[in-house]
């Protein structure tokens, strides 16, 4: 076996991990690897939460705009002149009273 083939087989064969520096610090390397995986997963979870929050804020803005529009439409429809227009358009004979309502007082 040539020297280059021996180096490659040593690196990929796992003998390097079993002897030398790697075997002494294997627990620490695994600990760092675990922390790295934990960091990446937490970062992904935070990004998903922020994205969901952004989408919900956009939806809330749209719903607020729709609420404002519907509220304005309802206020316009509830005005006396608008009600009279709708009644005339439907062929109703109802009209607004000419005189304001009178108070009836009762004596005890």
Other Cβ atoms within 10 Å of 28 Cβ, number: 9
Q: Is position 37 within any domain?
A: yes
Q: Is position 66 within any domain?
A: yes
Give the mean pLDDT of 7-30: 72
Please choose, from the candidates 80, 105, 108, the residue with its C-alpha nearest in 3D space to the C-alpha of residue 94: 80
Instruction: Pick 80 or 21 by higher pLDDT.
Output: 80
Instruction: Pick 66 or 11 by higher pLDDT.
Output: 66
Q: Is position 99 within any domain?
A: no
Q: Is position 5 within any domain?
A: no
- The domain in which residue 39 lies consists of 26-88
Domain count for the chain? 1
For the stretch 22-58, pLDDT in tens is 667 788 889 999 999 999 999 999 999 999 999 999 9
Residue 10: CB partners within 8 Å, gap ≥ 6?
16
d(CA 56, CA 78): 32
């Amino acid at each position: 076996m040539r020297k280059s083939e021996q180096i490659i087989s040593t690196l990929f064969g796992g003998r390097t991990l079993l002897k030398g520096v790697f075997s002494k610090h294997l627990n620490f390397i695994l600990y760092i690897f675990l922390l790295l995986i934990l960091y990446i997963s937490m970062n992904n979870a935070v990004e998903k939460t922020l994205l969901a929050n952004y989408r919900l804020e956009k939806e809330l803005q749209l719903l607020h705009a729709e609420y404002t529009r519907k509220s304005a439409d309802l206020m316009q429809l509830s005005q006396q002149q608008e009600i009279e227009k709708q009644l005339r358009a439907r062929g109703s004979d109802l009209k607004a009273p000419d005189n304001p309502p009178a108070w009836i007082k009762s004596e005890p």
